[in-house]
């Protein structure tokens, strides 16, 4: 199996599972830990998925862990700022703790991508063809 396929398949399955979980829990969730599940679980899992998905982009700049972390945190802060200013974007309630949840999700995503998955899946970090580095340079050494 091609390394890119297996990595892409695993990340896609994780993203689909998180999406389905969002529909299962919904706003009316009354199971265990309803405050956490309704308030913060998706705020952790969605940034985690964004970090993993950005790792699939075959551009060196976008694959950089610092870039992925910063991009996801910036998006989360924009969402929260828009809610604070009364312009609901992906939610309607401003909660400063959401930013901490986003940061936690980013850390989980980076941990999975950089530490856990490479240990469990030996080919996780095999060399991939990089289309470009974001600065106009091709990935073939030019």
Q: What is the pLDDT along the chain (142 residues), one digit of tens a residue?
A: 444 458 888 999 999 999 898 888 877 788 888 888 888 898 999 999 999 999 999 899 999 999 999 999 999 999 999 989 988 887 778 888 999 999 999 999 999 999 999 988 877 877 555 555 555 555 544 4
- Asked if residue 48 lies in contact with residue 107, where contact means CB atoms within 8 angstroms, the answer is no
* Alpha helices, H only, 27-64: 34-36, 42-54, 60-63
CB atoms within 10 A of CB 19: 14
In tens, the pLDDT along 113-137 reads: 999 999 888 778 775 555 555 555 5
pTM for this entry: 0.80
> DSSP secondary-structure letter at 132?
B
Tell me if residue 107 falls in helix, strand or coil. Answer: helix
**What are the residue ranges spanned by the domains of the chain?**
3-25+35-120
94 C-beta neighbours (distance < 10 Å), count: 15
- Listed residue (23, 72, 63, 66) closest to 44, CA to CA: 72
């Amino acid at each position: 199996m091609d390394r890119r396929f297996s990595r892409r398949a695993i990340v896609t399955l994780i993203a689909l599972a998180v999406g389905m979980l969002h529909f299962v829990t919904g706003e009316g969730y009354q199971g265990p830990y309803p405050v956490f599940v309704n308030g913060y679980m998706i705020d952790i899992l969605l940034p985690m998925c964004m970090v993993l998905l950005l790792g699939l982009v075959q551009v060196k700049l976008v694959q950089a862990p610092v870039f992925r972390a910063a991009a996801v945190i910036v998006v989360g802060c924009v969402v929260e700022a828009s809610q604070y200013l009364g312009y609901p974007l992906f939610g309607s309630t401003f909660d400063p703790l959401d930013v901490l949840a986003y940061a936690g999700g980013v850390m989980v995503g980076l941990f999975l991508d950089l530490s856990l998955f490479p240990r469990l899946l030996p080919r996780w970090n095999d060399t991939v063809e990089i289309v470009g580095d974001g600065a106009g340079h091709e990935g073939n050494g030019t």
